[in-house]
Amino acid sequence: MFNKIVIRYANGEVRKGTKEDFFPYKDILDFKDKDNGSYHEINMKDLKAVFFVKTFEGNPNYHEKYNIEKIGSGKKVMVHFKDTEKMVGYFHRYSPTKTGFILIPADPYCNNEKVFVIIAATDKINFI
């Protein structure tokens, strides 16, 4: 099964494509570009996050809700990225020695199914 992903670089660049298997602790992310079908290999250290999305288009008019509680989903956190974006979600495992961690969005109706957050692209992570 192929996952739809949106890759956001630390420098602001965005790419969309598909990924069959995702191994979060590899140094290189390979994916197929949605526009031209070409394959790319990207160094994970160049990224802000990898968003696993329901649709590539999303809904620009939708405003995520952060006050939704998910019992048994792990620890609830607010991630502050260096580019000032904030995300609220849940995670089970976090280690500052790893490249990143999987964040499950607090809002089940947002376009993101899960996000692989690159720790180096964060400013701080607050438990809430």
CB 103 within 8 A of CB 126: no
Per the domain annotation, does 40 fall within a domain?
A: yes
- Rounded mean pLDDT, 97-105: 94
Quote the CA–CA distance of 96 and 82 in Å, as a whole number: 16
Q: Domains in the chain: how many in total?
A: 1
pLDDT at 46 over 80: yes
Assessment of whether the complete model's pTM goes beyond 0.85: yes
Predicted confidence at residue 89, as pLDDT, reads 96
When mean pLDDT is compared over 17-31, 34-48, 61-75, the highest value belongs to: 34-48
Per the domain annotation, does 61 fall within a domain?
A: no
Residue numbers of the domain that contains 86: 3-54+66-127
Per the domain annotation, does 38 fall within a domain?
A: yes
Percentage above 90 pLDDT, the chain: 77
Per the domain annotation, does 97 fall within a domain?
A: yes
Per the domain annotation, does 71 fall within a domain?
A: yes
Per the domain annotation, does 59 fall within a domain?
A: no
- Rounded mean pLDDT, 2-6: 96
Phi/psi of residue 79, each to 5°? -95, 125
Q: Quick: pLDDT tens for 66-98.
A: 888 887 789 999 999 999 999 999 998 888 889
Of the chain, the end-to-end C-alpha distance in Å amounts to 34
